[in-house]
Amino acid sequence: MGTGPSAKKHGSRSKIKKYKRKTWLCHRAKDTDQIQDEIEKADETGQPIAFEYNDELPGGGQFYCVETGKHFTDAKALADHKKSRYYKRRVKELKEEKYTQATAEWAAGMSKEKLPPAHPTK
């Protein structure tokens, strides 16, 4: 009645270590603060972000999207990517102010302001 030994229930091997998916770290996009740092560094030097020809990268590393941090195979693929919703959303995120340690402390309620003493000395 079954279709053979290859027909397993979906997710039946999920607890076995060698079958676990490692997609979260392997295919993770760069964070916005990392990209903002790259863009700032490129602005300081005055040179655009460019890669030397590399056979291991798609398109030899010549078609690179700075905003998303991805390589593409050809100019058409890069142009299509720049029309996508993902690209437009990422560009909008990059225009926002960079998140700093001072902002994090402010949000957590750790203030650095000097308050007047409760009982001033004379």
Query: Domains in the chain, please, with CATH?
Result: 35-98 (3.30.160)
Task: Tell me the residue ranges of DSSP E strands in 66-113.
Answer: 70-72
Which two tokens mark 88? 């437009």
pLDDT, one tens digit per residue, over 49-108 is 777 888 888 888 888 898 888 889 999 999 999 999 999 999 999 998 887 888 888 888
Which two tokens mark 81? 């990517």
pLDDT, one tens digit per residue, over 6-59 is 667 777 777 776 666 665 666 678 888 888 888 888 888 877 777 788 888 888
Which two tokens mark 98? 């960079």
Which two tokens mark 116? 């007047």
